[in-house]
Structure 1
Amino acid sequence: MVERSRNPTIIDVANRAGVSKSVVSRVFSGRGSVKEETRQRVLSAAEEIGYVVNAVARAMVAHRTYTLGAFVRDASTPFYGYLLTAMQERAAFHGYRVVTATGSGRFAVADERRALEGLMMLQVEALIVGSGALPAAQIVPFAERLPTVVAGRPETHESITSVFCDEEEGGAALADHLVELGHRHVAVIKVLASDSITMAPRTAAMVKRLRQRGARVLEIDGPLRDAAGRWATEILRHPEITAVMAPSDRHAVALMEQLHLRNVAVPGDLSVTGYDGIGDLTTSLIGLTHWRQPIDLIGSRAVDALVRLLDGETPPDHHQAVSGSLVAGRTTAPPAR
């Protein structure tokens, strides 16, 4: 018979962190003062040994639900799916449960607002909002009633706490990559803020940096959904174009498929870049050049910030811009002509 290992206890955490059991209890209950250095040591020790707070027991004692509400725009997409997973894992570490609501990607702003209202009706203690479409003005009323953090988009409204990837850094770095390869005529699939609060600043940064570096830019605007064929047709009207910058990995792959149907080789005829670096599209089989967002870090920091707000503390950074990294793959190369 296989003997099961026991679950770590609060005493194990105390021993690992070199503090008393009462200090560990104060850290996880939020009652009483604990120095920040000690708090971080306790949290690190708990993570190292796999200790998870018993949220049900805590709720019975404290008369709280220890439940967070999380809304993501479309959990079927890699970005929001991985973000939600990261938030759920970090919430469990802190001893919180997560109830979720998700749209289909086609939700109107009013639908997203109603989804947040539905989460509040479930008596959640706080909210995490993951949406590139819901304006800050629609989120502020919720933030005035419950601790609220916006995750995964560049939100800098003074009333909202946020954690996001530095979109301008990513867009500029990808543009630099193409210029350094020798590209001087580049098309950018540009996104309006009304279509995506996340993709708009990154594509604007692409255009800005390309022009700063002396490249000529063809801006292609318009709807994002099912538009790859139109993009390919427009790009091929301009034979001087040697590279295309897409607003996300999935848009880049959709564009490459349309280019393939038109017998355009990538990167032989056109170089293509994406953005996100999440999920199956990062496979070496595609070898997509992209900017990788540290989605696990964004999700965990968003929950950390929310827990601090629930504990009556102020997060170290009201708006946390997290750096990503350039992944130079096989879809970019020096121009052939």
Structure 2
Amino acid sequence: MASSMDKEAPSPLKVTMTAVAKEAGVSQSTASRVFYGSTPVAEHTRQAVEAAAERLGYVPNTMARSLAARGTDILGLLLRGPDNPAYGLLFSELQAHVSSAGLQMITVAPSRNEGAQFERQALNRLLGLRVGGMFVATGVIRAQMLEPFLDRVPVVVVGRPESHPRIHSISYDEDRNATLLADAVATAGHRSAAVVVPSAENSVAQHRRGVAMARGLAERGVRVYQVSSPTFASRDEGGREIVALSREGRITAAMFPSDLRLLAFLPLAQKAGLRVPEDLSLTGFDGILPGIDLLGFTTVRIPVEVAARRAVEVMHAQLTERTPARHDLIPGTLIRGRTLGPAPTHR
């Protein structure tokens, strides 16, 4: 006869809270309070229940609780490009503040090459999980894509300017930040520069940065060559055009709407024999890239930490009472690095 040791242990996902309560010698309601924090329990009781759960391999059914409670403490996050250091830091900061607020968060992140269609499907999946609110941290999803959801859950856009009267947004002040960089380039004596301007369909934020940098240069008497970048998820697009403009003596500087785009351009510049900044000055945008101090990029450091904290504060308030949408713009800080130098005198 087989002994109890020979019996296959139940899957952790099949272990019930009732079994954990019995193992710990408490009622099921007490066990529920330990896992879901509805009301405090004595410390020794909490430890007993958690120890029983660990022995049995119990996994709390968070989604079942979400459905029962209409998802009020479980939030969804749609995150663009987690391999981008700026988005990676934003995710980390949002998660920390959500946890500190006693809430939970489910994150859906597309791969770098997945665009608007995937993100629309992701929004539907988050709603299907009955999340109580959604953070949208992507430059792909538009306000009109969010409108059908606004009566069902509060939405807070993070890291992208938004003017929709029913959508809260906590964003970096892209226009002001771009102006800081344009002013630095003009002050360094550059009278002609290329600006990479991605398509608005692919990135609202980067498109706005490019347009604002071009406008800021023009206002300061600098001739602008706009370099378009219509391909989704392409970081080096426009690089060859910039090299050609530099070789022809038409530009002495190039401005990129992200540090990753600047980083992708450097091998092209090196291959073309262009010295930075002696032949061509370069600026980026974001200021989050690891080792950016060693690379010496001139860029703008966007205030990711402040944006994440404010976004969670707004969302937490919206879960209790819907209020008129607020649209915060948070300025960044100019970082002066080695990639921006004075305009060469031999041009």
TM over 0.5: yes
Give the TM-score normalised by structure 2. Answer: 0.77
Change in Cα spacing, 1:328 to 1:190, as seen in structure 2 (3 Å) is same
Counterpart residue number, 2:215: 208
For residue 318 of structure 1, what is the amino acid of its counterpart?
Answer: R
Q: Is the 8 A contact 1:228 1:251 kept in 2?
A: no
Counterpart residue number, 1:149: 156
Counterpart residue number, 2:27: none
Instruction: State how far apart, in whole Å, the 1-side matches of 2:302 and 2:124 are.
Output: 29
Deviation at 1:258, TM superposition (A): 1.0
For residue 200 of structure 2, what is the amino acid of its counterpart?
Answer: A
Change in Cα spacing, 1:80 to 1:55, as seen in structure 2 (3 Å) is farther
* 1:133-176 Cα shifts (integer Å, max 9, x gaps): 11110011122210110111011111211010010001111000
For residue 120 of structure 2, what is the amino acid of its counterpart?
Answer: R
Deviation at 1:335, TM superposition (A): 1.2
Counterpart residue number, 1:118: 125
Counterpart residue number, 2:76: 69
Runs of 4+ in 1 over 3 A off after TM superposition: 62-65, 231-234
Q: Is the 8 A contact 1:228 1:258 kept in 2?
A: no
Deviation at 1:231, TM superposition (A): 3.5
- CA RMSD in angstroms, aligned pairs only: 1.9
For residue 308 of structure 1, what is the amino acid of its counterpart?
Answer: A
Matches within 5 A, 1:1-337: 56-58=36-38, 63=69, 65=71, 66-223=73-230, 225=234, 226-227=236-237, 229-282=239-292, 284-314=293-323, 318-337=326-345
Structure 1 residue runs of 5 or longer lacking an equivalent are: 1-53
Q: Is the 8 A contact 2:259 2:289 kept in 1?
A: no
Change in Cα spacing, 1:89 to 1:214, as seen in structure 2 (3 Å) is same
Residues paired across the two proteins, number? 281
Of structures 1 and 2, the larger Rg is shown by 2
Q: Is the 8 A contact 2:80 2:87 kept in 1?
A: yes
Deviation at 1:228, TM superposition (A): 5.2
Q: Is the 8 A contact 1:232 1:259 kept in 2?
A: no
Deviation at 1:273, TM superposition (A): 0.2
Give the TM-score normalised by structure 1. Answer: 0.79
Instruction: State how far apart, in whole Å, the 2-side matches of 1:67 and 1:326 are.
Output: 36
Q: Is the 8 A contact 2:243 2:272 kept in 1?
A: no
Instruction: State how far apart, in whole Å, the 2-side matches of 1:290 and 1:231 are.
Output: 21
Instruction: State how far apart, in whole Å, the 2-side matches of 1:236 and 1:279 are.
Output: 26
Instruction: State how far apart, in whole Å, the 2-side matches of 1:221 and 1:64 are.
Output: 45
Deviation at 1:281, TM superposition (A): 4.8
